[in-house]
A and B are shown apart, each in its own frame.
Chain A
């Protein structure tokens, strides 16, 4: 079974609109972390935002926020006021494992295209 599922292979969004990228996860570990990364065409994976499984509040970083719904096992990324530079591949990832052996599992990604 997929540990991280991103159901939107591609999305087109008008500039300045908000966009939500979906991510669901599956784990039996009570302690885990959820991450979103942006990968432009240059290839670098850029860290955007992190949510810990015990965090009570949804994480926010500037225009990025993470809509964490623990019971539903979802961790959607919300980008407010989208910009042309937001066009990229976006990966959701989950960290599991014990001390010294943590691993990230990535979803298949969503390619976001911002339309002027």
Chain B
């Protein structure tokens, strides 16, 4: 089945230690998104790629970076995680031009910062 895959599902890192979360998709969608979701809150968009074009949200901290080496993969890099960065990180994809342009989400990565 075509899907959005996130690895790992759970990630524990130390305060200040760089961490990378990965997302891959078999849907061949041209748009990929990264969201941060803290406990009992709505997902918050960090940035998205439209093909290779990177679109950063104005309030996304510089500590968060992203890479999209090809259509299938997208990475979220947190350069120096703080305790406040502990959250669920959700990757989503959409097909620009498809009816609805629905975003399909992966299972998420729960990040714990010690």
Contacts and interface: CB of A to CB of B under 8 A. Distances in A.
A46 B70 CA distance: 25
A107 B45 contact: no
Nearest to A52: B100
Interface stretch (A18-26, A78-86, A96-104): A96-104
A42 B107 contact: yes
A102 B42 CA distance: 18
Contacts of B42: 91, 106-109
Contacts of A107: 42
Contact of B45 (A35, A37, A45, A104): A104
A72 B99 CA distance: 24
Contacts of B88: 43
| Contact size range, B | 20 to 34
A33 B100 contact: yes
Contact of B105 (A44, A99, A101): A44
A47 B102 CA distance: 8
Interface in A34-81: 35, 37, 42-47, 50, 52
Interface residues of A, number: 23
Interface string A102-116: 111011110000000
Contact of A43 (B45, B94, B104, B108): B108
Nearest to A92: B42
Interface of A: 33, 35, 37, 42-47, 50, 52, 91, 95, 99-104, 106-109
Given A47-B102, A108-B42, 15 more contacts: A33-B100, A35-B100, A43-B88, A43-B90, A44-B105, A45-B105, A47-B104, A52-B100, A91-B42, A99-B96, A101-B50, A102-B96, A103-B48, A106-B43, A109-B42
Per CB-CB distance, the 10 closest pairs between chain A and chain B, nearest first, are: A106-B42, A45-B105, A50-B100, A43-B108, A44-B107, A100-B50, A43-B88, A106-B43, A108-B42, A47-B102
15 contacts: A33-B100, A35-B102, A37-B105, A43-B88, A43-B90, A44-B106, A45-B43, A45-B105, A50-B100, A52-B100, A91-B42, A102-B96, A102-B101, A103-B45, A108-B41
